[in-house]
Structure 1
Amino acid sequence: MSNPTDPGARSGGPAAFASTRGRFYAYVLALLCCVFLISNISATKVIEIGPFVADGGAFLFPLAYILGDVISEVYGFRAARRAVLMGFAMQALAVLVFFLVQVAPAGPGYENQSAFEAVLGFYPRIVAASLAGYLVGQLLNAYVLVKVKEKMGEKHLWVRLLTSTGVGEFADTLIFCIVAFAGVIPGWDFVNYIIVGFVYKVAVEIVLMPITYRVIGWIKARETTYAPGGAETDAKV
């Protein structure tokens, strides 16, 4: 399978990467952190659509892996690892702030303390689950993508995207579901939750792959440091 829009479909060539000092790394990093934060807050609500059980984070979280793929493909493993750790730190900061707000005395006229605690009081468990899943899943995603790229060069981007996403999303979904909702979602619904979560996330990656191709190609064409052997300090594992 090949795709004419694949930025590397026309030439195998050695693996190329750009420097994180380029024009777009900071923007993609900021967007990744925002997606991660919003998804984890949304994940405090379990939702049911027909026979499928999921959490609110399902609407946005798959984009975190797409953005992780963009960073890994364009900037390399070290840049992706830096992005993952930054997202981790921002999530830890959110947990601390929400905890301090929750335990602080309610002010005059504020009558929503119980509602605040019901939603964000569950947030630390969601974050613990998400951080564990995210850290393992995203690092596996970046590692697999870069290793496949080092072997295949610039050609067949679709192989890197599907392989890395399959490995990363499986680890992420399994860890997150067990830590966040084991004992909360009962019986078969819990198994359903894991299966649906994994299949859905991978399906989103496949559906959005043409857009991912275009974004990666657009950034590669505009990052002047993107070249074979470039940015070795960022790209090497």
Structure 2
Amino acid sequence: MGNELLWLVFAVINFALLILMYRLFGKAGLFVWIGMSTVLANIQVLKTVEMVGLVATLGNITYGTVFLATDILNENHGKKEAKKAVWMGFSSLLIMTIVMQIALRFTPHADDFAQESLETIFDLIPNIAIGSMLAYLVSQYIDVWIYGKLKQLLPSQKHLWIRNNGSTMISQFVDTLIFCSIAFYNVHDFEVWLSILFTTYVIKFVVSVLDTPFLYIAKNMNSKLKEDL
């Protein structure tokens, strides 16, 4: 299976698992998903792959599901719950970073085989860690704010796709711009930096389009659960 096909399958699986968590556990499932996904995405981003001739990092799909989860919370449970979820995701990422930095400082046993691998994954360059957390917090708040405004202007369910894509595509651009500016500052020439910015955003753009049907599923699921009650 080529990377392109595997990427699509991976996207569908991520979105489907998110919806399953929502179906089984309600908004609590989305809170758990957001905390878990912010950590997983920042681990996956260390792996680079080639798709359609472009070099890209993993993590964009899993990270994109965080925006879908906050949009579902905003749509079905209100802006307050969405903002709470944003801080839960940020806290998860911050705690993981702090805890793993301390864990790496333990002197490994002579027979230990994991230290070097853990250092590769968790001994983060400060610019990447700071860029990731700042980009997450700012972009998520922008996503929640824009979604709320669009919901006021276009409250009909037939405009759900506009609320979803409009908020996510703008906030994802802000996220990409902040992260690339901080993480890769003075690391690459401007042309290379611009290429990374462009390809990363294009991938996130595609993810935001792909998640739209799943937001409709979550919306209908919430209506059905209310009817059952």
Larger radius of gyration, structure 1 or 2? 1
Q: What SS does the aligned partner of 2:56 have? A: strand
Structure 1 residue runs of 4 or more that deviate by more than 4 Å after TM superposition: none
Spell out the pairing of 1:1-237 with structure 2 (5 A cutoff). 24-122=26-124, 124-155=126-157, 156-223=159-226
- The answer for the alignment partner of 1:18 in structure 2 is none
Deviation track 1:127-159 (CA, whole Å, cap 9, x = no partner) reads 322211111111111111111112222341111
Q: Distance in 2 between matches of 1:217 and 1:185?
A: 46
Query: Which residue identity does 1:169 align to in structure 2?
Result: Q
The size of the alignment, in residue pairs, is 203
Structure 2: runs of 5+ lacking an equivalent: 1-24
Structure 1: runs of 5+ lacking an equivalent: 1-22, 227-237
Query: Which residue identity does 1:140 align to in structure 2?
Result: I
Query: Which residue identity does 2:131 align to in structure 1?
Result: A
Deviation track 1:37-78 (CA, whole Å, cap 9, x = no partner) reads 100111123444354232221242111111121111111211
Q: What SS does the aligned partner of 1:60 have? A: helix
C-alpha deviation, 1:36, in angstroms: 1.1
Q: Distance in 1 between matches of 2:56 and 2:179?
A: 12
C-alpha deviation, 1:111, in angstroms: 4.0
Q: Distance in 2 between matches of 1:223 and 1:190?
A: 48
C-alpha deviation, 1:187, in angstroms: 4.3
The answer (yes or no) to whether the contact 2:36–2:92 under 8 Å persists in 1 is no
C-alpha deviation, 1:172, in angstroms: 0.7
Deviation track 1:88-130 (CA, whole Å, cap 9, x = no partner) reads 1111110111101111111230144333323211265433222
Q: Distance in 1 between matches of 2:153 and 2:44?
A: 38
Which TM-score applies when normalising by structure 2?
0.80
Q: Percent identity?
A: 25
Q: What SS does the aligned partner of 1:212 have? A: helix
Query: Which residue identity does 2:194 align to in structure 1?
Result: V
Which TM-score applies when normalising by structure 1?
0.77
Q: Distance in 1 between matches of 2:115 and 2:214?
A: 42
C-alpha deviation, 1:220, in angstroms: 3.3
Q: What SS does the aligned partner of 1:97 have? A: helix
- The answer for the alignment partner of 1:13 in structure 2 is none
Worse overlay, 111-120 or 23-32: 111-120
Deviation track 1:22-46 (CA, whole Å, cap 9, x = no partner) reads x611111111111111001111234
Query: Which residue identity does 1:179 align to in structure 2?
Result: I
Q: Which has the higher contact order (CA 8 A, sep 6+)?
A: 1
Normalized per residue, the structure richer in helix is: 2
Query: Which residue identity does 1:121 align to in structure 2?
Result: D
Q: Distance in 2 between matches of 1:59 and 1:164?
A: 17
